[in-house]
Every structure is written in C-alpha cells, then in structure tokens.
Structure 1
Amino acid sequence: MTALVTEVEFELPKGYVDATGTVHRTGVMRLATAADEIYPLKDPRVRNWPAYLVVLVLARVVTKLGSLPEVHAGVVEGLFSEDLAYLQDLYNRLNGLTATQLAVTCPQCGAQHVVEVMPLGG
C-alpha cells in the first residue's frame, strides 16, 4: 500500500518578487480539502468576480513560498501570469482534476483509440 501524498514541493518558473525585491521561487502546496473549495465561494470578491476564486483557493493551499511568513491573496495576486498558470496546473494534477488518457478498443470494429477521461466535476 502506498502512502497518500498530501504535500508537494514546487519551483515557480519566474518567482514572486516581494516589496524588497527578493525573489521567492520554491514552495509547498498541500492537497485541497472540500473547505478549500467551498469557503472562498462565500467571499464577496468571488461573488462580484468569479475568476477571483482561483486566487483565494491557491492562497489556502500554497502553504509555503520562499521565506515569506505567509501566503495570502495579495501574494497570489502579485504572481506573474506564468507562475499563476503553473500553480493552477499543479493544483489540478495534485487534486486529480486533470484528464486521464486511456487506450480503449472499439467493441464493434476492434480499432484502438486514445481517449481523455475527465474526473467527476472536471
């Protein structure tokens, strides 16, 4: 039996630049809980701007970024677009939200195909 991986280390492509000019590239992301995806939906910023949900969710699950004392929404807002996309992809992979490719055989003609299967809710 394999152990459940609940945290992964990462390195941002560009890095977050804080107010002093320090670049923070390495960090840790934890597996999301239901609360991580539900509680931000109550935030007025999300109700007024649904795209802001990703900022709040990532601020909850990124537990470490460089030497920053905490990762909050303002930090996620300050990420470069490439780094935000990287964290979104990592979040999706870590939490099983990406499509899986499967090799299947057609029961009628016997031809083999590769298909993508999305997880529930994906």
Structure 2
Amino acid sequence: MRRRIGLEELLEQAPAPASQTAAPQPRRPGHPDPREHGPRTEFEFELPLGYVDDDGTVHRHGAMRLATARDELMPQIDKRVKENPAYLSVVLLSHVITRLGTVTDVHAGVVEQMYATDVAFLQDLYQRINSEGHTRAAVTCPHCDGSFEVDLAGGRLGES
C-alpha cells in the first residue's frame, strides 16, 4: 500500500540545491567555467524607486536568479503565506533576489519595506524571466506608432 506524503514532508526529503551542498570547484587555467555557456540564470535590474535601508542608503541595482521548483513550493508551507496568501510574492521574491545594491541578504523583511512600485516591478520581472526567459518587451511609441523593444531590467537610456 502506498503512503501519501504532504508537501512539507516532500520538501524535507528533497535534497538541498547543489549551490548549498557542493563546494565551488576551482577553475583550471584554460578551462572555461561551464556556467558561462549554459542558460542565463541571473538577471540584473534597476528598481524604479529603490529600497531604502535603515541608514537611509538607497539601493536600486540588483540581481534576480531564475526560480527553481523548490523556490515555488517553499512559500506554500510558510505560516505567513498560509495566514495571508498575498504574502506569497514577498516570500518568493526574497528567495530569488540575490542582491540589492550592497545588501546580499535579501529576506522577506527587506521585501516588506520596499515601495509597492518596486515590488510590482519585481513581480513583473519574476514572471517575465521565469516564463519567457528574458527581460525584453515589445512596445509602441504613443507619438509615432513606431515599434521597438525595451529591456525591463533597467539600465540607462541609450545603453544596449
């Protein structure tokens, strides 16, 4: 007879991601890093307003990695998400944002303190990179009806 297990037990039994268990291997001279030739897994961004830390420093530039299945499953067992399903995006974003300015420990408390505009931007970026694999969007100029692409991750005008 098969025993049914819940999501919490399944996540406990799942092996930790390789990034948490394996020590980085030194690169030998003349041998390229295999990650450099695989799919792009991290995306730079620039927040519209920026996260303001306790010292008053504004952090606008950051990076978000692609989500794993584990990233999407973990919030489902989080007590805060169970109490308030809208909190799911806060927990999820805190798992995939790898840095924000000089802040390298981006946890739910950091995301909670962000402006709603920045959280909406990050939710859109998350959706775009995890479903489409890029940060570009097709747009049309409201003045000349010309079509072109913009990079939603940010950057300065005129840069490619």
Query: Under a length normalisation based on structure 1, what TM-score does the superposition of the two structures give?
Result: 0.76
**How far apart are the structure 1 equivalents of 2:72 and 2:84?**
16
SS at match of 2:131: coil
Match of 2:108 in 1: 73
Question: RMSD over aligned Cα, in angstroms?
Answer: 1.5
CA separation in 1, counterparts of 2:129 and 2:46?
15
* Letter of the structure 2 residue corresponding to residue 22 of structure 1: T
The runs of at least 4 aligned residues of structure 1 exceeding 2 Å deviation read none
Equivalence map 1:5-84=2 (5 Å):
5-84=40-119
Higher strand share: 1
How many residues align? The count is: 97
Q: Which runs of 5+ in 1 are unaligned?
A: 98-122
The answer to whether 1:85 aligns with 2:120 is yes
Q: Name the larger-Rg structure.
A: 2
- Distance in 1, Cα, partners of 2:104 & 2:47: 18
Identity level (%): 57
Unaligned runs of 5+ in 2: 1-36, 133-160
Contact 2:75 2:88 (C-alpha < 8 Å) held by counterparts: yes
Distance in 2 separating the partners of 1:89 and 1:51: 15
